[in-house]
A and B are shown apart, each in its own frame.
Chain A
């Protein structure tokens, strides 16, 4: 295994995570990671050493997913498992005060429309800069920023109680 492949192995966990954001399905995510890895290897010559391998592979993954969803004729993607063992009830807890728990943020993230979901995931979950995230999504930075703001506002609105427009 060369250094390139070694770095790729180390990236696998994060690729799997971003795959889950994209596909909202654990096993689809791993299939997508596999496709991504294979594509990346066949295009290894297009990667510029010294640039971030994660952003490059996220971009390949995003495009592989676009291909895949087209192939599926946009088969209805199963909505995120809203009730997946989260046990959040309307128990009268003052919503505005409630701590944002990881599972809730996850759930709300998964409910966002894809463009907002990816923007939020790349910046808040993966910790990319706006510029890097925009390059993964192949959008202008302004577009990335507005998706990010909308996605964030939606998550906070749903979790925050004010207006609770969900």
Chain B
């Protein structure tokens, strides 16, 4: 009698535990998915682009904001000249015969930039410093004098990248050609 009672009790407990876990899972799923959905390009609200256009209302504002997003994604923790350098690398690629010749082509080339591949560029709004670095790069500033690649030597990278000629290092990143 007592034994059966206990079994009933534990069965009930298990049922409730499952219910709570499932609910927690659902809540996590909804919120987790919501956050992921935010990473997708089409969910960037028009209002945000409008703000961006106001921050730099010149004919190049679309390029400034796209470039600023990549700089934010790739060099958020780098010094200002390191940010300008990352912007310059993208623009140098446009001038190179081996890369696409448009900014969008360079930015969205598969596996070209980690922050584009994992959606980070859509998750964060670029800071004022990144927007300024993007404008400077578009105006011609290039602290690397022509680099086409950058990488962080403390992270694991393929042996191939070390066959590139290193031009300089700014902050944590190495710039090469």
Say whether A associates with B.
no
Using a CB–CB distance below 8 Å, which chain B residues touch chain A? Answer: none
